[in-house]
Every structure is written in C-alpha cells, then in structure tokens.
C-alpha cells in the first residue's frame, strides 16, 4: 500500500441537530475526547440515535466523520449529486486515501488538533433516502475480507484546538502490525 501522508482540509461541517447532511462552516473547535463543539454527534459516549437505543454508555468511536473529496468527485462522475457535507461528514479532506489507512492512524489537523481513526462509517438506510442507489455505490466487497465502504471514516479527538478550511493534514501510521479498517 502506498499512502500520501499529507493532505488538506477541504471543508468543515457541523450541525447541532441529527440531520443527514451538515452545513459548511469555516472553522471548528475540536474538543479532546468529545468531538466538534456544537455538533450533534459530539460526546464521550455514543451520540448516534440508533446506537444510543442499544447502549447509551458505549464509548463514542464516531466523534468526527471524515470523507475524502476524491470520493465525492468519483460519485459525481457516476451521476450522484453529493456536495461536501452531504454524507454528514464533519471534515472533507483532499490528498489522502483515508479508507486505506489502518485503524489507529493519527491525523494532525493544522498545528494543534490530532484525531485517531477508529474505522469505516457503515452506510445506513438513510443514504438511499438521500439519493437512490447511493448505498450500493459506496459499498463494495473485496475478494478477501469484510465489506468495505467509501462514505468515510470515523475518528476520535485526541488533542483539541481549532481547525480551519485550508489547514494541512499530516498522517502518522500506528505501530505494526497494522489493523485494517472495519465498520464502527
């Protein structure tokens, strides 16, 4: 696997409500162990409504949702209307193949913020309510291993601070052996 270990914050998104897509913002305050200040999915324990029903005390491994802008570009080329933020992502990146990074990879966003990748976001049924056929377009099954998804990766905030559109992203891989991403 070859990875570009540097990229850029292309867009930021946050929403205080549990909506499918999130509006764009110019900067976001990341809180260690919590997520993005004011976002509905921020919290030390799970904030996703369906997961809260199962176990509200479960640690929140989905504090910040990241999607590569290249995913948006590929889906637009396939005829889908998917502007940045449309998957409910908090952060859209460019230049990094997020889905190929192992679990535990850390991303330094700007000068201060560090997030650690926890796994793939599995596409829920709402994705087809957004656009028919989109769930199938972001899901694929390799010859070996679990089903994979192209609608982003989830992370937790290790070190907080402010992130702005245009900030640099620097990736650090965890110690080997690397664990491939699975859905969280």
Whether 179 maps to a domain, the answer reads no
Please give the tally of structural domains in the chain.
Answer: 1
Whether 100 maps to a domain, the answer reads yes
Burial of 32 (0-12, 13-18, 19+ CB in 10 A): middle
The CATH number for 72's domain is: 2.40.33.20
Whether 181 maps to a domain, the answer reads no
List of E strands, 88-167? 91-94, 106-109, 113-120, 139-140, 148-149, 153-159, 161-164
Confidence (pTM): 0.89
Q: What is the pLDDT along the chain (184 residues), one digit of tens a residue?
A: 445 599 999 999 999 998 889 999 999 999 999 999 999 999 999 887 777 778 888 999 999 999 999 999 999 999 988 899 988 899 999 999 998 899 999 999 999 999 999 998 866 666 666 777 777 777 767 777 666 666 789 999 999 999 999 999 999 999 999 998 888 8
Q: SS3 for 20?
A: coil
Whether 152 maps to a domain, the answer reads yes
Q: Quote the tokens at residue 123.
A: 């596409």
CA distance 124 to 136: 11
Domain range for residue 138? Answer: 6-172
Whether 125 maps to a domain, the answer reads yes
b/e per residue 84-116 (b: at least 16 CB within 10 A): bbbbbbbbbbbbbbbbbbbbebbbbbbeebbbb
Whether 139 maps to a domain, the answer reads yes
């Amino acid at each position: 696997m070859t990875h570009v270990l540097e990229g850029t914050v292309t867009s930021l998104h946050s929403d205080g409500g549990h909506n499918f897509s999130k509006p764009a913002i110019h900067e976001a305050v990341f809180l260690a162990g919590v997520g993005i200040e004011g976002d509905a999915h921020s919290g030390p324990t799970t904030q996703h409504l369906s997961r809260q029903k199962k176990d509200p005390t479960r640690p929140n491994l989905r504090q910040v949702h990241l999607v590569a802008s290249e995913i948006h570009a590929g889906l637009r080329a396939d005829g889908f209307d998917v502007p940045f933020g449309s998957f409910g992502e908090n952060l859209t990146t460019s230049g990094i193949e997020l889905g190929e990074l192992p679990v535990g990879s850390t991303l330094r966003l700007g000068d201060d913020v560090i997030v650690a990748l926890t796994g793939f976001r599995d596409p829920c049924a709402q994705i087809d309510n957004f656009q028919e056929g989109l769930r199938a377009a972001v899901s694929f099954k390799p010859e070996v291993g679990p089903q994979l998804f192209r609608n982003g990766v989830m992370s937790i905030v290790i070190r907080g601070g402010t992130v702005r559109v245009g900030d640099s992203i620097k990736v650090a891989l965890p110690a080997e052996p690397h664990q491939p991403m699975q859905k969280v």
